[in-house]
């Protein structure tokens, strides 16, 4: 068994009407994240280290040997990554990508394990969307529980929805 990853850059797609300079910034950031993940997995880093590298890269904190983030905010907004290594170890991470438009005191789904992010020995989940709905439904944990207790694949769960 080899390694695998899933990487997403936000709740939704990159709009076609997004100005080219912003579209290119988001796409190049996602490509750079993919390169970081591939290099890390090929270097036998743990899945937890891999997903952390993606979240760290997209945050306003500058990383050694990487250009600073323009305007001090995340390059792509919400980012998520799940990884599995060749031994079957899993990890997931999600970040909302900064403080832009965040209401003071609001806690979203990202820091609440089991809501938007969850990993166990059966699967790793990182999801984004409407945070309140994700919190209410504990989406990530439910996906993992359906795999663990009912043996449902992701495809079968998708059909159920």
Residues with active-site annotation: 78
Check the annotation: does 131 bind a ligand: yes
The residue written with tokens 């945070």 in the block is: 131
- What is the sign, positive or negative, of the torsion defined by CA atoms of 50, 158, 148, 118? positive
Check the annotation: does 108 bind a ligand: yes
Which residues share a beta bridge with 92?
Answer: 82
Check the annotation: does 156 bind a ligand: no
Check the annotation: does 128 bind a ligand: yes
Check the annotation: does 77 bind a ligand: no
Pairing of strands 79-84, 4-8: antiparallel
Please tell me the distance from the alpha carbon of residue 7 to that of residue 20, in angstroms, as a whole number.
Answer: 22
The binding site for substrate consists of: 106-109, 128-131
The binding site consists of: 106-109, 128-131
């Amino acid at each position: 068994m080899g390694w695998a990853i899933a990487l997403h850059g936000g709740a939704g797609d990159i709009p076609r009407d997004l100005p080219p300079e912003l579209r290119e910034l988001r796409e190049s950031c996602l490509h750079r994240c993919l390169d970081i993940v591939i290099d890390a997995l090929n270097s036998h880093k743990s899945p937890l280290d891999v997903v952390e590298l993606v979240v760290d890269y997209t945050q306003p904190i500058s990383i050694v040997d990487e250009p600073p983030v323009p305007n001090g905010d995340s390059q792509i907004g919400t980012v998520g990554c799940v990884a599995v290594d060749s031994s079957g170890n899993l990890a997931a991470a999600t970040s909302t990508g900064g403080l832009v438009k965040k209401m003071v005191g609001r806690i979203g789904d990202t820091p609440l394990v089991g809501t938007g992010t969850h990993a166990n020995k059966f699967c790793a989940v990182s999801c984004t969307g409407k945070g309140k709905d994700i919190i209410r439904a504990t989406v990530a944990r439910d996906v993992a529980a359906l795999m663990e207790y009912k043996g449902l694949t992701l495809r079968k769960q998708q059909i159920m929805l």
